[in-house]
Amino acid sequence: MELLLWAIILLVVLIVVILLLVFWGIYNRIIRSENRIDNAWAQIDVQLKRRADLIPNLMESVKGYMKHERGTLESVTNARAAIMSAKSPQEANNANNMLTGALKTLFAVAESYPDLKANQNFLQLQDELTHTEDKISFARQHFNDSVLSYNNTIETFPGNFFAHRMGKKAREMLQIPEASREVPKVAF
């Protein structure tokens, strides 16, 4: 009889320990994937800033050639200003899409300026800007991947059980424009 009692106590202790370990694991997983989202956002921010920093140089190098394209140049400058003053992820994201559009127009217009196209400095900036644009779209993709995996963790069993008590709510993904999902084609 006494043996049975001990066996039951041992079993209960074992179950409690296992439950604690499971709780520990899930808790850490939730916190870790939350941190990953924050870090992923910081990454986008870094790339957005870097891209915005490249714009003044670009303006400097095209200014002399594209005197008659004031509208195009202004829309680039305005989009850059919008990135610098953005307050939320979605706002910065929208401003960045604006900049992408404005730059696309600028590079298309540049096609009709042979002198500009032969300028080494301009070519280098164009490479650099394309690269930053790619980095931004992959950083956004990673952000959304991180949000998806976080949401899956806290919305499926057993994560949902704990997430509810921890007051964790599903995060929102960034809306990515269709165009940026296409693979950028740079010939080299």
Partner 1 sequence: MDKQMLLEDHIRKNKLDTVLICMFMVVLLFSVIFAIGYILGLPPIFAMAIGLPISLLYLGVTYSFSVQSVIAASGARPANPQVREEKLLINKVEEMSIAAGLPMPTVYVQDSHDINAFATGKKPEKAIICATTGAIQKLNSEELEGVIGHEMSHIQNRDILVATVTVAVVGTIALLAEIAIRSLFFGGGRGNKRDNGGAIILIIALVFIILAPIFSRLTYLAISRRREYLADANGAYLTRNPEGLALALEKIKNDLPDDPKGSKTVASLYIANPFKREIRNSIWSTHPPLDERIRRLRSM
Chain residues binding partner 1 by CB under 8 A are 36, 39-40, 43, 47, 127, 131, 134-135, 138-139, 141-142, 145-146, 148, 181, 183-188
Cα gap 144→112, rounded to integer Å: 38
Cα gap 49→11, rounded to integer Å: 57
Closer to partner 1 at the Cβ: 25 or 184? 184
Closer to partner 1 at the Cβ: 91 or 127? 127
Closer to partner 1 at the Cβ: 28 or 152? 152
Cα gap 39→115, rounded to integer Å: 42
Q: How far is the CB of 187 from partner 1 (least distance, A)?
A: 7
Q: How far is the CB of 6 from partner 1 (least distance, A)?
A: 30
Closer to partner 1 at the Cβ: 78 or 124? 124
Cα gap 86→78, rounded to integer Å: 12
Question: Which of 108, 114, 81, 115 is CA-nearest to residue 95?
Answer: 81
Q: How far is the CB of 58 from partner 1 (least distance, A)?
A: 18
Q: How far is the CB of 186 from partner 1 (least distance, A)?
A: 5
Q: Are 142 and 43 in contact (CB under 8 A)?
A: yes
